Amino acid sequence: MIHAVVDLDEHGRLLVPGTRTPVPEGRVAEHLARHLQVPARATDLYVYVHGWQTGARAAVQTADALIARAVGLGRSAPTAYPGLAARGYRPWCVVVRWPSSSPPSPAGYRRIRDRAHAMSGPGGGQAESVIGQLLGHLDAARGRPDAPGAPANRSGRYLHLVGHSFGGRFLCEAVQWAAERPAAEPRLPGWRGRADPARPFTADSALVFQLAAPRDAFDRLFPRLFPAPGRPGAPLRGPLVLTHSRWDRAAGFWHLRAEGAPGIGHSGVGAAPVGQYSTALLATDTPYSRRALDHPIVNVDAGRVFRGSATGRRLAPAGAHADFLHPESAHLLLSLAAFSR
């Protein structure tokens, strides 16, 4: 098994496994320490958050399939990912499950959209506290690069965030508010040193497939993910990478009906408070360069691969919105892990 699971209710409260009983807020850290034991051999820790209309089993299956493909790529072509050569790639994933189902209608869309925000921050939910403590727990467990006797490998472990659709929206909301919590100890910079050592955690990369959010979301909704005057650091010390495809009807046609404009998963990021770079989703035999991925925001055009049923006789209502389980996606995921070294 390459995963663990945490379940949240509609208020963002952590649930006791197998029940609908919330863990008392003051005991979340204790619960995580007891139930989330990071395997000693793990090199890369992932937090995966699923999207709209995703059941509990499907969320785990999707995360496992994506990471298993990345492991397979690393084994079949180890020289293609030189950053992984010294210590290998042994991932472990925490799947965050949340109530994301609703009727497939504009009203249902808006309900889950609003829930993704209300579970954290000013919305009054506890997800920011739970996600903050989860990431803080993993950050502490991964070992500091300069700590004597760091577990698994001398440079510790690497922490990555992955989301899909509204799961990316939920993740961005929760992380930006969770990052406001005070740090227990300083962290070292990575990539180009965008992290703030005063943060309670820092993620080495963030990858969101087909984000269901407005194109100006990082200006209006999630500005705290990035540095700003009086806020010099950020909870992301690596890039925020977002895929988009013109075949994504959920983030295109349906997002247009529900929010008045196409979403990032269809058209990419528009206005943003930091620099952006655009590239294409590459085939597995074509390596990414560090230069292409080392930017605060990276837009990845996946339209060549994420097509859904666009070439069939009937176009699925969501189009290519959930069509991201491809070898090319695993290639991107694995490249981010390699460049995080």
Does 187 score more than 50 pLDDT? no
pTM of the predicted protein model: 0.90
Q: 30-44, 221-235, 243-257, 276-290: lowest mean pLDDT where?
A: 221-235
Domain that holds residue 62: 3-339
The pLDDT assigned to 330 comes to 98
Mean pLDDT in residue range 268-289? 96
The pLDDT assigned to 290 comes to 93
Does 97 score more than 60 pLDDT? yes
Which helix H or strand E contains 166, and what residues bound it? Answer: helix 166-178
Indicate the average pLDDT of the chain: 86
Mean pLDDT in residue range 176-190? 54
Reported confidence tier of residue 203, pLDDT bands at 50, 70, 90:
confident
The pLDDT assigned to 151 comes to 36
Work out whether strand 240-244 and strand 158-164 pair parallel, antiparallel, or are unpaired: unpaired
**Could you give the CA distance from residue 184 to residue 9 in angstroms, rounded to a whole number?**
27
Mean pLDDT in residue range 44-60? 94
Does 202 score more than 50 pLDDT? yes
Other C-beta atoms lying within 10 Å of the C-beta of residue 101: 13
Does 147 score more than 70 pLDDT? no
Q: Are 290 and 280 contacting, i.e. CB atoms less than 8 angstroms apart?
A: no
Q: 44-53, 141-150, 158-167, 260-269: lowest mean pLDDT where?
A: 141-150
Does 109 score more than 50 pLDDT? yes
Q: Could you tell me which residue, 65 or 194, shows the higher pLDDT?
A: 65
The type of residue at 111 is R
Nearest to 321 by CA among 309, 308, 311: 308
Does 177 score more than 80 pLDDT? yes
Does 61 score more than 60 pLDDT? yes
Give Cα separations from 10 to 15, 130, 178 (angstroms): 11, 13, 17
The pLDDT assigned to 149 comes to 40
The pLDDT assigned to 146 comes to 38
- Transcribe 9-78 into DSSP letters: -TT-PBBPTTSSPBPPGGGHHHHHHHH----TT--EEEEEE--TT--HHHHHHHHHHHHHHHHHHHHH-G
Does 153 score more than 50 pLDDT? no
When divided into structural domains, the chain yields a total of 1
